[in-house]
Amino acid sequence: MYRFLNLIVFAVALVPSWAVERISGWQGHERVDFQVNGRDCLLVRPAHPAPGRPWIWRTEFFGHEPQADLALLALGYHVAYINVQNLYGAPVALDHMDAFYAHLTQQHQLGAKTVLEGFSRGGLFALNWAARHPERVAALYLDAPVCDFKSWPAGRGQGKGSPVDWERCKTAYGMTEEQALAYKLNPVDHLEPLAKAKIPILTVCGDADTVVPYPENSGLLAERYPKLGGTIKVILKPGVEHHPHSLKDPAPIVSFLLAHQ
């Protein structure tokens, strides 16, 4: 009997974590929860997948202001998310994202190129992963994105910053204060791989944002990316702070992504 139970325990231990899936619903669509590399992940499936099985990858704050996600689901896109919170786009986060990408493209047969969707601090994940793997990215949709951790969470410019997040950010990158402030691979300084791959960028921002100030983040992208040959469209919302994200009518977002898919 004990030997039989031990065999069961052994067999369960051999099952990879991603194979243990929990099925539920989200906004009228099927949601699958699982783990990859010990990180919580989810995939929302459209009722009728579009040809090529396209997908949009929310890098942070899944479910917040999901207008564009829902519109794309209706058009046959999958929506994906891996929880890499409090890692601020550091290499350790990108390693987890690599494993997640491999799982989705191999186990779920999603398309080889994804749309990266970076809300707020999610901009660090989206832009850094795109710079690491430009050949895997169809387009970037950024929304009030952090594009330089010296702006947020460090708060070394016009923004408020976040001391708690800044300490966690330095730990995630394995840097001292001096090293972090001298870091040369923040997204605003590392756009060449994206431009060379001709990855189009859409950024939606409020011009009154005091948390992630536009001039220090998307404003620098808008200034620097075209000089490198990149395509970028900015939707600047007058008088809007960091919130609300997205647009009430996501049609301009969806149209941009479909045009560049």
pLDDT digits (tens, 9 = 90+) for 11-70: 344 455 546 899 999 999 999 999 999 999 999 999 999 999 999 999 999 999 999 999
What is the rounded distance in angstroms from the CA atom of residue 53 to the CA atom of residue 226?
30
CB atoms within 10 A of CB 98: 16
Kindly state whether residue 199 falls inside one of the protein's structural domains. Answer: yes
Judge whether 144 and 209 are in contact, CB under 8 Å: yes
Question: What is the maximum span of the chain, computed from C-alpha positions, in angstroms?
Answer: 71
Kindly state whether residue 219 falls inside one of the protein's structural domains. Answer: yes
pLDDT confidence of residue 261 = 77
215 contact partners, CB below 8 Å, separation of at least 6: 158
Domain count, the chain: 1
60 contact partners, CB below 8 Å, separation of at least 6: 85, 118, 119, 120, 121, 122, 125
Kindly state whether residue 11 falls inside one of the protein's structural domains. Answer: no
Q: What element of type H or E holds 197?
A: none
Q: How far is CA 241 from the centre of its chain?
A: 21
Residue 6 has pLDDT above 80, yes or no: no
pTM, rounded to two decimals: 0.92
Q: What element of type H or E holds 187?
A: none
pLDDT confidence of residue 4 = 47
Kindly state whether residue 12 falls inside one of the protein's structural domains. Answer: no
pLDDT confidence of residue 17 = 56
Kindly state whether residue 89 falls inside one of the protein's structural domains. Answer: yes
Kindly state whether residue 9 falls inside one of the protein's structural domains. Answer: no
Please give the residue range of the domain that contains residue 236.
17-260
Judge whether 244 and 64 are in contact, CB under 8 Å: no
Instruction: Look up the CATH number of the domain holding residue 248.
Output: 3.40.50.1820
pLDDT for 73-109, tens place per residue? 999 999 999 999 999 999 999 999 999 999 999 999 9
Kindly state whether residue 10 falls inside one of the protein's structural domains. Answer: no
Kindly state whether residue 2 falls inside one of the protein's structural domains. Answer: no
